[in-house]
A and B are shown apart, each in its own frame.
Chain A
Amino acid sequence: MTSTEVVFVVLSAVGSIGAFRLVTSKNVVHAALYLVLTLSMVGAAYLVLAAGFLAWVQVLIYVGAIVVLLLFSLMLTKAPIGREALDNQQRGWAALVGAGVLAGLVFLIQNAFGSAPRIQIQPATTSEVGASVFANFVLPFEVVSVLLLAALVGAVVIARRDERP
């Protein structure tokens, strides 16, 4: 194993533990914080795979914005869920589905890439990503702004005070 692979394995192990605790934790705030751990480890894995821009997007959007949104929505709820047991009767099924997905993915990745030659990781710089987005994927990029605008109108619809008497 090269040193890159060792780092990758360590990061994925920490991320997986975080993910496991995320679904087994009985305190939703703790669960949200485990989510931060998992998402950060995914970001770190991107870094190791030399996708620097993607890693920082992961930190900015997921670890930053999405988790903040999640915590805010937790705080909107009335119940002091901090200490309350958070569980339901479908653990068995969930575990089964999780194991199934794991087995499927292991098989798939083995099947698709197991016999492929080892590739040399090459860094994808931010300017390459930029060239791709702004030369080849211009239309999807502009469509994203329309999507964000629709989301913003949605926020206005939900947040608006009732103006009628």
Chain B
Amino acid sequence: MGPLAQAVAPSHMPIVLRPLLPELILVGTALALMLLDALRPTPDQRPFVLLSLAGVAGAAAATLSLWTWKGPGSVLGGMIAADRFAVYFRLVILAAAALGILLSSYYLDRAGEARGEYYPLLLFATAGMTLITAASDLILIFLALEILSLSLYLLTGFSFRRLASAEASMKYFLLGAFSSAFFLYGIAFAYGATGTTNLAGIATALASRVNGDALALIAVGLLAVGFSFKIAAVPFHMWTPDAYQGAPTCVTAFMSAGTKVAAFGAFLRVFGVAFLPLAHDWRAFMGVLAAISIIVGSVLAIAQTDIKRLLAYSSIAQAGFILVGLSAGTQAGIQSAMFYLAVYAGTVLGAFAVVAIASVRGEEHTALSSYAGLARRRPLLGLALTAFLLSLAGIPPMAGFIAKVSVFSAAVQAGSWPLVLIAVLASVAAAFFYIRVIVLMYMQDPAPEIEGVRIESDPAGWAAVLAPAFLTVVFGILPGLLFGLLRTASVVRF
């Protein structure tokens, strides 16, 4: 009998599916949508939107019920973690998905791109995102990463008649596949170094080593590169501006929020659990990654003339700020990064929602010059975008300010004040381009060719703008609401 046989006796563990219920609901809804689309094709998109929203709501309810989960910390043979960490991330992702669906129904109607394949793909992507935050085995994390990536490549190229969309999809796919290879290679090295792919098992194996060996360090490096692609940290950010600009704006909104939250969730779990024994080695790496992401993202954002590209570079810089919290390597660091992620998700989603509405029928008016005088033409839209931009810049009383402060204070406590110095200077510089857009909206007259363009909006579109705007202000004034949850949710158990 070979070595495998000793490890695998046919097991009769009780099958506990409740911690997996959110994903089961999401996939089940996606299957139902596919059947509906295949068997009863209808040009009317409303049943699809309503069914998707119901699926996301059901998944959210199932997730909420897990908050008081008393069962074992990991189920299904150590594959799925049933901790509040996963609950928190899933809720953020599901909220982003719900807003993304609303925005999509608004956008696709007007862009004339409404087709039945859209919502199943969106739900597959959401299921991949929520699964990755709960997965506690590298193989499962990889599969979830592939599900979410594959669906997002397709959504990015969904309006493939528009050349930019097809191009964005292609670039995203090629670089994404490249990063998957890094990730897979990292898994192979991790298995080679420890003999297991289970996160807790890896931690146990590494903790018993006297000195860290090169194999495990390479695994850490390769996995970090794989994650860095997904969170769009410099120097693995090349796909971001093109993909964000080319994708249909509703997809951009959903993926900029969802992918980053999901990838960071898995990032935190893998490095906070499996590679915690090597924390001393990877902290510096994260710090460097954070610093260059902040600097490059902020500097390049200044030169942008297209609002979608501007927000893409901004999201690169934001990934850097979140990494600052991660590089602290402490409980406070994880907590602040988690707060930052929720705030970032809401803010960027709302900002792209404004772009989707203001650019009328898709992608026509995304140049920054089209935003001149927006606040006069549509005061509420202008006000919402102002709130989002101020939050991204980290100016009080918006939630982004609290997020930045908490990340910085965690890093200072951990002793990495040079990193914080760089981050503070860069955020001062970055404030320039956010405020430039605000000035443009309030102080300048609209360009003549844009003046007559009517911006229409419907309740779904408004919901996707106003809900995040409301949360951005509320969490800015009452951050305790979220931090209260985070005290228990930031404990990664498995």
Interface residues of A (CB under 8 A from B): 104, 107-108, 111-112, 122-125, 128-129, 131-132, 135-140, 143-144, 146-147, 149-151, 153-154, 156-158, 160, 162, 164
Is B27 engaged at the interface, CB distance under 8 Å to the other chain?
yes
Choice from B79, B115, B146, B214 contacting A111 with Cβ under 8 Å? B214
Choice from A107, A112, A154 contacting B154 with Cβ under 8 Å? A154
| Complex CA–CA separation, A125 to B8 (angstroms) | 13
Q: Which residues of B contact A125 (CB under 8 A)?
A: 2
Is B192 engaged at the interface, CB distance under 8 Å to the other chain?
yes
B143 touches A147 (CB 8 A): yes
Q: Which residues of A contact B71 (CB under 8 A)?
A: none
B150 touches A135 (CB 8 A): no
Choice from B147, B160, B214 contacting A112 with Cβ under 8 Å? B214
B117 touches A112 (CB 8 A): no
| Complex CA–CA separation, A151 to B151 (angstroms) | 8
B470 CB to nearest chain A CB (Å)? 33
B5 touches A135 (CB 8 A): no
Choice from B117, B147, B150 contacting A143 with Cβ under 8 Å? B147
A112 touches B193 (CB 8 A): yes
- Known contacts A140-B140, A144-B143, A157-B121; A124 and B4 CB within 8 A of each other: yes
Is B34 engaged at the interface, CB distance under 8 Å to the other chain?
yes
| Complex CA–CA separation, A151 to B7 (angstroms) | 32
Interface string of B156-198 (1 = CB under 8 A from A): 0010110000000000000000000000000000001100000
B117 touches A153 (CB 8 A): yes
Nearest 8 pairs between A and B by C-beta? A128-B4, A112-B215, A122-B2, A131-B8, A154-B154, A124-B2, A143-B143, A150-B124
B178 CB to nearest chain A CB (Å)? 13
B305 CB to nearest chain A CB (Å)? 30
A111 touches B2 (CB 8 A): no
Q: Which residues of B contact A104 (CB under 8 A)?
A: 218
| Complex CA–CA separation, A104 to B11 (angstroms) | 40
B137 touches A122 (CB 8 A): no
By secondary structure, the B interface counts as helix
Is B435 engaged at the interface, CB distance under 8 Å to the other chain?
no
| Complex CA–CA separation, A160 to B157 (angstroms) | 14
- Known contacts A135-B10, A157-B117; A111 and B150 CB within 8 A of each other: no
Closest partner residue, chain A, to B15 (CB atom): A138
- Known contacts A124-B2, A143-B131; A136 and B214 CB within 8 A of each other: no
Is B139 engaged at the interface, CB distance under 8 Å to the other chain?
yes
Q: Which residues of A contact B10 (CB under 8 A)?
A: 131, 135
| Complex CA–CA separation, A128 to B7 (angstroms) | 10
> 4 other contacts beyond A108-B218, A140-B140, with CB at 8 A cut-off?
A111-B214, A112-B192, A140-B79, A150-B150
B7 touches A147 (CB 8 A): no
Q: Which residues of B contact A122 (CB under 8 A)?
A: 1-3
Is B144 engaged at the interface, CB distance under 8 Å to the other chain?
yes
B192 touches A140 (CB 8 A): no
A47 CB to nearest chain B CB (Å)? 15
Q: Which residues of A contact B5 (CB under 8 A)?
A: 128, 131
A139 touches B7 (CB 8 A): no
B31 CB to nearest chain A CB (Å)? 8
Interface string of B1-42 (1 = CB under 8 A from A): 111110111110000000010000001000000100000000
A146 touches B150 (CB 8 A): no
Is B129 engaged at the interface, CB distance under 8 Å to the other chain?
no
5 CB-based A-B contacts, threshold 8 Å: A128-B8, A131-B5, A135-B11, A136-B8, A147-B146
Choice from B11, B79, B146, B215 contacting A139 with Cβ under 8 Å? B79
- Known contacts A111-B215, A112-B193, A139-B76; A124 and B139 CB within 8 A of each other: no
Q: Which residues of B contact A124 (CB under 8 A)?
A: 2-4
B213 touches A112 (CB 8 A): yes
Choice from A143, A151, A154, A164 contacting B144 with Cβ under 8 Å? A143
B15 CB to nearest chain A CB (Å)? 9
Q: Which residues of A contact B81 (CB under 8 A)?
A: none
| Complex CA–CA separation, A146 to B2 (angstroms) | 31
